């Protein structure tokens, strides 16, 4: 019996050693691929790291994978990080979302944990509404849009008064999606509504969003304004100036003439006087 126990202990110890060696090889392979700037090798090393569901793997993928300049490496790291379920790995991701000094790293971690079960991700998303970076806050708002719970509604309304410009509209859109109430982007009105309805509130039935498939005719789009409602305080207008823009349209005038008219219309009446904008010509 003692001999069998010793054999089992040795086998378990050997297995642990092998796993450590495999992780070390994957880590070294990642460092080597990063030095060589070999995108394919980086992805291979990250995939191997993803097979080790532990804190060190998550930390390496967050630091070197998610932050990489290659979109392919970034997306592969995001995919694999979302598969990690160990306590250590999730704690590394949670720590990055809360404490990283770089807002882009906090944003990356938040994108990962949005895929967690809502009972685990919601507290982190609510906490991130207080982040110093508006980019992180915006990601948290988008994440909470899928959390149909009173905690989400209350947290969004509580932080709405700190938002400005595009971020304020993000809050409003999330609250409309959660509550079905089309109130204006004014925090005090949402606070009043929540005080009156919080106790008995239940999330409305989810509705299918067919807006992505909606197509408008050019006359309708021009009548309503090509740029729609602009809520951002910093705006970039992209104007196509290629040869195809010389083609005539069904509303009269060439495409470039319509674009010029609509741009002038947006600049004169569609922007807040405090807004800053740039116009970029592309062809």
Task: Give me the residues paired with residue 238 across strands.
Answer: 280
CATH 1.25.10 is held by the domain 1-112: yes
CB 247 within 8 A of CB 255: yes
Q: Provide the pLDDT for residue 137.
A: 96
SS3 content of the chain, % helix, strand, coil (to 5): 65, 5, 30
Cβ-in-10-Å burial (0-12, 13-18, 19+) of 214 comes to: exposed
Q: Check residue 14 and give its pLDDT.
A: 43
User: What span, in angstroms and rounded, lies between the C-alpha atoms of 13 and 10?
Assistant: 5
Cβ–Cβ under 8 Å, residues 239 and 280: yes
Sorted by where each begins, the domain ranges of the chain are 1-112, 117-202, 221-282
What SS3 class is residue 116? coil
CA gap 163, 118 in Å, rounded:
24
pTM score, two decimals?
Answer: 0.72
Quick one: pLDDT at residue 16? Answer: 46
Length of the chain: 283
C-alpha distances out from residue 183 to 157, 202, 282, Å = 12, 17, 37
Q: Are 106 and 97 in contact (CB under 8 A)?
A: yes
CA–CA separation, 140 and 122 (whole Å): 9
pLDDT averaged per 10 residues in sequence order, the chain, 283 residues? 50 49 87 91 92 93 93 93 95 96 95 95 96 95 94 96 90 94 92 94 72 54 59 75 77 76 74 76 79
Closest CA to 171 of 207, 213, 132, 139: 139
């Amino acid at each position: 019996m003692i001999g069998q126990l010793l054999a089992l202990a040795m086998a378990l110890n050997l297995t642990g050693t092998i796993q450590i060696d495999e992780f070390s090889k994957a880590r070294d392979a990642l460092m080597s691929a990063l030095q060589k700037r070999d995108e394919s090798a980086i992805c291979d090393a990250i995939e191997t790291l993803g097979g080790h569901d532990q804190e060190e793997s998550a930390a390496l993928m967050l630091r070197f994978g998610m932050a990489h300049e290659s979109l392919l490496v970034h997306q592969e790291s995001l995919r694999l990080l979302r598969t990690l379920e160990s306590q250590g790995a999730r704690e590394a991701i949670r720590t990055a979302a809360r404490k990283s000094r770089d807002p882009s790293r906090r944003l990356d971690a938040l994108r990962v944990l949005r895929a967690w079960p809502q009972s685990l991700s919601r507290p982190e998303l609510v906490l991130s509404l207080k982040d110093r970076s508006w980019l992180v806050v915006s990601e948290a708002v988008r994440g909470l849009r899928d959390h149909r719970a009173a905690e989400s509604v209350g947290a969004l309304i509580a932080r709405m008064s700190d938002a400005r410009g595009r971020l304020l509209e993000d809050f409003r859109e999330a609250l409309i999606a959660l509550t079905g109430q089309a109130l204006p982007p004014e925090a005090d009105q949402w606070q009043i509504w929540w005080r009156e309805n919080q106790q008995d509130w239940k999330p409305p039935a989810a509705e299918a969003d067919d807006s992505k498939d909606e197509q408008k005719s050019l006359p309708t789009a021009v009548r309503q304004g090509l740029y729609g409602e602009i809520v951002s305080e910093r705006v970039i207008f992209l104007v196509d100036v290629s040869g195809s823009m010389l083609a005539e349209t069904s509303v009269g005038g060439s495409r470039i003439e319509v674009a010029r008219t609509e741009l002038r219309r947006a600049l004169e009446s569609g922007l807040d006087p405090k807004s800053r904008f740039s116009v970029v010509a592309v062809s």
